[in-house]
Amino acid sequence: MAKQTVDDAGLRDLGSLAPFLTRLPIEKFSVDYDREADVLYISFRHPQRATDSEMLDQGILVRYRGNEIVGVTILDASKR
């Protein structure tokens, strides 16, 4: 398996997420990326099934379980 690397620009982009991530009202979350579909999945706490969802502008889907947000799905993630 080939070693994957991240260039300096990619590391800077990743670092720019830190202020946003530290403001989330949770301490643990998971992130999965489907490269073929170009979809980024962010699940808060442990991945859990949503009971409802809401599509926001620009291809962002917010997933709920009751009144609690349990995750966010971002379509066309690499183009943002």
Per-residue pLDDT of the chain (80 residues), as tens digits, is 566 666 777 677 777 878 877 887 777 888 899 999 999 999 987 767 899 999 998 899 999 989 888 889 999 999 98
Q: Which residues are within 8 A (CB) of 78 and not within 5 positions of it... i.e. 6 or more apart?
A: 38
Residue ranges per domain, the chain? 27-79
| Distance between CA atoms of residues 14 and 22, nearest Å | 13
Question: What pTM does this model have?
Answer: 0.74
Which of 79, 72, 76 is closest to 37 using CA atoms? 76
Per-position b or e across 21-30, b if 16+ CB within 10 A of its CB: eeeeeeeebe
Task: Let me know: does 58 contact 52? Beta carbons within 8 Å.
Answer: no
